[in-house]
Amino acid sequence: MIKRKNFYPTICSTALLFIIMLDASGPSKPQANNAKTNQESFPNISELRRDARGVEQVWTSAGSYFMGTDKEDVAGIEIPQWAARELPAEMPRHEVRISKGFWIDRHETTNREYRAFVEDGGYKTKQYWSQQGWEWLQGQKMESLPVKYVEKEEPDHPRVCVTWFEAEAYAHWRGGRLPYEAEWEYAARGPKSLIYPWGNNFDPSKANVVESEGLTAVGSYPDGASWVGTLDMAGNAMEWVQDWLSADYYGKSPKVDPKGPPEGRRKVEKGGWWGSNPFVARSAYKHFEDPPTYQDHHIGFRVVTPVEEEWEDEDGLEL
């Protein structure tokens, strides 16, 4: 492992007892059925709602953008040596169309929100888990989950130290799923295909990234909001997304609604993290080394609620 663990020592436990070996414009915007919250401070939010679990979500309309990176996008940005060899996985820069609008969490899932899942029996309810996720769970000491990353976990901080399987189960409990990489990047960059959620130049005052020593409350950097009003997409915690990782996927991915390879060994993570750097804070950056059984104190997630779509167990895992 190379990445973020080099910035600060890992805080949360890595004693995972079970290890799975893995092989190699759209419909009009629906009206929100739930109470909306005050939008006066965030005029770029087209529509804001609370879902059935009380979590704020913003509407992202269907549209097109350029996904990925070209050399001009990273000109003048210092590229860490450990990340330089992975840059080709972001290429080529290519046009993508998101054919259906969706609701996406305004902020990363918090400890408070995740605790509601735990207290509602989330770790004991099989229907929320994929087959592979449930098999992973049976090998764990369930009373120790989710793994604590500090002695006192602040309610409004991002929920980190959860595996991809745990994030997936929580999303199902919410009635949604993890975002596809193309959806996540579209919500961050928008039709203008910005390099960062707020524009094309890095600004350390707009994200919890550079020289940070830890997580902050979600939404602490409102000036770093994306075009639809999503927060913390450049920093605080990096985020699990739905897709399997493949270094050459962009060269053969569909133009409309790409969903990543059908199977793989590692999952894509998006966004920068506390204590990192401007290169990984770019919206096109994709992290490259973690299987779905992994967790640490830099990885969180958020949820997408598609319109008229039900999640299915299509993990692509081979045991």
CA–CA distance, 166 with 160 (Å, rounded to integer): 11
CB 282 within 8 A of CB 207: no
Do the domain assignments include residue 120?
Answer: yes
pTM assigned to the model: 0.86
Let me know if residue 26 belongs to a domain.
no
Per-residue pLDDT, 151: 87
CATH classification of the domain holding 46:
3.90.1580.10
Looking at residue 277, its pLDDT comes to: 97
In the prediction, which pLDDT does 166 show?
98
Write out pLDDT tens, residues 198-212. 999 999 999 999 999
In a domain, 251, yes or no: yes
- Pairing mode of beta strands 238-244, 299-300: parallel
Tokens of 240: 């699990």
How confident is residue 39, by pLDDT bands cut at 50, 70 and 90? very low
Question: Has residue 17 been placed in a domain?
Answer: no
Domain count, the chain: 1
Range of the domain at 234: 4-12+35-306
Cα–chain center distance at 314? 18
Residue 22 lies in a domain: no
**Alpha-carbon gap, residue 128 to 131, rounded angstroms:** 10
Angstrom distance (rounded) from CA 184 to CA 186: 5
Of 23-27, 155-159, 301-305, give the lowest mean pLDDT range. 23-27
- 178 within a domain of the structure (yes/no): yes
Task: Please give the pLDDT value at position 307.
Answer: 86
Q: Does some domain include residue 20?
A: no
pLDDT attached to residue 9: 35
- Asked if residue 209 belongs to a domain, the reply is yes
